[in-house]
Amino acid sequence: MSSTDDIWILHDAARLGVYLRLDGEALMAGPKENITPELRQRLKDNRPEVVKTVMLREAHEYLQRNHVEGADLSMLDDWHGIIGHAHMSGDPELFRIALRGYTRAGLMAFKKAKRERQEAGL
């Protein structure tokens, strides 16, 4: 599988109206009537990569929901490299750990920005 196949699988799922999300370790997809046999097979054949991509998407969505204006997110640049390395290693646990670190770093930046805004009376 190429490094972009997982992205195309998510794109095709969205085009068909199929959601992909994680419930613990399980990759959930639905509604079932929208899943074509081809998509089902692609999900099955590429599950590890699709799971990692869904994990990354969910981490980004979580950070978006908690975003605080003015947060300095420059420290996330280092985490992009760590996540990339973990992704290429093929070790799912290392990837999870890298995503947790990335998410925590983002949340710490948001807390700091929120505290600074409060101290400034904004």
Residues 6+ positions from 28 with CB-CB distance below 8 Å? 19, 20, 21, 22
* pLDDT of the chain, 122 residues: tens digit per residue: 445 788 899 999 999 999 999 998 899 999 999 999 999 999 999 999 899 999 999 999 999 999 999 999 999 999 999 999 998 898 889 999 999 999 999 999 999 999 999 999 87
Q: Which two tokens stand for residue 28?
A: 């959930």
> What pLDDT shows up at residue 1?
46
Task: Work out the angle at residue 25's Cα, subtended by the Cα atoms of residues 33 and 38, and round it to the nearest 5 degrees.
Answer: 35
Q: Is the peptide bond before 37 cis (omega within 30 degrees of 0)?
A: no
Topology adopted by domain 1-46 = Arc Repressor Mutant, subunit A (1.10.10)
> What pLDDT shows up at residue 3?
56
For 45, the 3-state DSSP assignment is helix
Residue 87, Cβ density class (10 Å: 0-12 exposed, 13-18 middle, ≥19 buried): buried
DSSP state of 96: H
The residues spanned by each domain of the chain are 1-46, 66-122
| Residues forming a β-bridge with 22 | 27
